[in-house]
Amino acid sequence: MGRHNSIYFSGGNFVRRRTTSSDHPYYWHLEDIVGVHSPRIKFGRRPRNNNQLRWSKYSQVKPVLPRVQITGGAGFVGSHLVDQLMIAGHEVIVADNFFTGRKRNVEHWIGHENFELIHHDIVNPLFIEVDEIYHLASPASPPHYMYNPVKTIKTNTVGTINMLGLAKRVGARVLIASTSEVYGDPEVHPQPETYWGHVNPIGPRACYDEGKRVSETLSYAYARQEKVDVRVARIFNTYGPRMHMNDGRVVSNFILQSLKNETITIYGHGKQTRSFQYVSDLVDGLVGLMASNYSLPINIGNPIEHTIEEFAILIKKLVGGPSKIEQTSAVEDDPQRRKPDIKRAKTYLGWEPKVSSLGLKLSGEFSKMD
């Protein structure tokens, strides 16, 4: 069964709903004018001109891709998502307050007719018309989210409420970028989506960990009460071009220290583990989840596990140079093991990482780090 959209005219607005068709999967159907709203009907944007629709039943026109909003779209992950959606032909609106995002990450799209960049903090409401919302806005590295913990909490609570409210008003599907940090310092390994986590609610990382947990709670409250169409991605450690060199995370720390011939510092004993995915794999997973019919949380991460010590040795080998590897005092509430169970992603999205070796990608990353 193919999926297409049906267009209705009601109350001066064009109204769109998803239906299925076995014979015309890519047709727009202009059906009878209706004067009542059905729960199955979703509001869409008014066509810019009548040439976008041919006023005959079952008239074939070019498929219209969803208009997409990305909060935090000028950040590391968001900018790569912008690239993929723009190349696919979507209209993309980026909302970013540039706390960790940077305009240069998306400057190559400025001036394109399908791209719009808005300097906006999503703790304040945003009134636009879109079909899909990727809510990625939030500092994600410990130094950044600990810099202003109250602001981090507001972004992940008030900001999420604003995006869910927008989705409710315009009938958009919304994808919430959650995190593996909802599992805290896990007592279950690897971590399936059914695991409720082991989080310190008052520790230094709690502003981010608990902020994301509340973000998920809000999402499903809106789904149950307001029938908002939600998707939740639990994102595991990610690396790639456009990362901040000084963001305090393992990949950028080790690369920067190696390039400067400084001592590579490992917090704690170095036996704690992480699973690193390349940013292109993550973006593929996010786009696949948005397009899917699966609404429960899904882990998006690479299940290949490395100790921090192994990773430091790999970075030193790839970069070369005289850097030594030394251990320093452990960080409070630092998770000891982190590895995603990706059975759901494989089953419901047909997704798994394509970049399986850190070395293959890392060897070409050093010149691309900002």
| Residue 56 · residue 31 · CB < 8 Å | no
Handedness of CA 154, 156, 159, 165 (dihedral sign): negative
Helix (H) or strand (E) segment spanning residue 277? strand 277-278
The pair of three-digit structure tokens given for residue 271, joined into one six-digit string: 């036996």
Rounded to 5°, the CA angle 240-245-249 comes to 75
Gyration radius from the chain CA atoms: 22
Active site residue 278: no
| Residue 144 · residue 100 · CB < 8 Å | yes
75 to each of 242, 262, 283, 366, how far by Cα in Å? 8, 27, 13, 18
* Tokens 């292109």 belong to residue: 280
Closest to 82 measured CA to CA, from 138, 9, 136: 136
CA–CA separation, 75 and 370 (whole Å): 12
CA–CA separation, 50 and 71 (whole Å): 31
Kindly name the residue from 8, 27, 145, 208 that is annotated as catalytic. 208
Could you please report the per-residue DSSP string of 107-155?
Answer: GGGTT-TTEEEEE--TTS------SEEEE--S--SHHHHHHSHHHHHHH
Active site residues: 208
